[in-house]
Structure 1
């Protein structure tokens, strides 16, 4: 069992590294983090619009949201942390 785990760990690490780099070209803002609005405000805004938030993360320039949109579709979306405008992936 330990040998199986040792084989799986490098695969998981490789997958997570490729996943992280897949979003490397999303740029939301160049404003310093001291200018960012709290993520709780974005959470409240999206909830009022009908989103069901599963998880939110902070990237180097965005808020990344994992949720169901108002139509019930599972979605991963990026938002400018200063304006809360949605930013599309390049």
Structure 2
């Protein structure tokens, strides 16, 4: 019994680490063109390895100007970051 409770608790704790961002839903005709956001990120020094739509967010995988691994979620209308994970 103790082992199964521990496994359940471990699973519950791990879930938020893999959860994506929660972005506000906007009509697609109001979305910032992904090419525009990608260009802005590259001007800021980001290297983009993968850029996709994830639910109601744009999601970027790549590296920062100083080479740190980055996973960033953006609002599709404003292009503002909603959630980011930058490795050290």
User: Would you say same fold, with TM above 0.5?
Assistant: yes
Aligned length: 69
Runs of 4+ in 1 over 4 A off after TM superposition: none
Aligned partner (choices 13, 19, 24) of residue 23 of structure 1: 19
Q: C-alpha deviations, 1:49-70, integer Å up to 9, x for none?
A: 0000001010121000001012
**Equivalent residue number for residue 34 of structure 1:** 29
TM superposition score normalised by structure 1 = 0.68
Q: Which runs of 5 or more structure 2 residues have no equivalent in the other structure? A: 1-14
TM superposition score normalised by structure 2 = 0.69
Correspondence 1:88 to 2:83: yes
What secondary structure, in the 3-state scheme, does the structure 1 residue paired with 2:35 have? helix
The structure with the greater share of residues assigned to strand is 2
What secondary structure, in the 3-state scheme, does the structure 2 residue paired with 1:30 have? coil
Q: In the TM superposition, what is the alpha-carbon distance from 1:29 to its structure 2 partner?
A: 1.9
Q: Which runs of 5 or more structure 1 residues have no equivalent in the other structure? A: 1-18
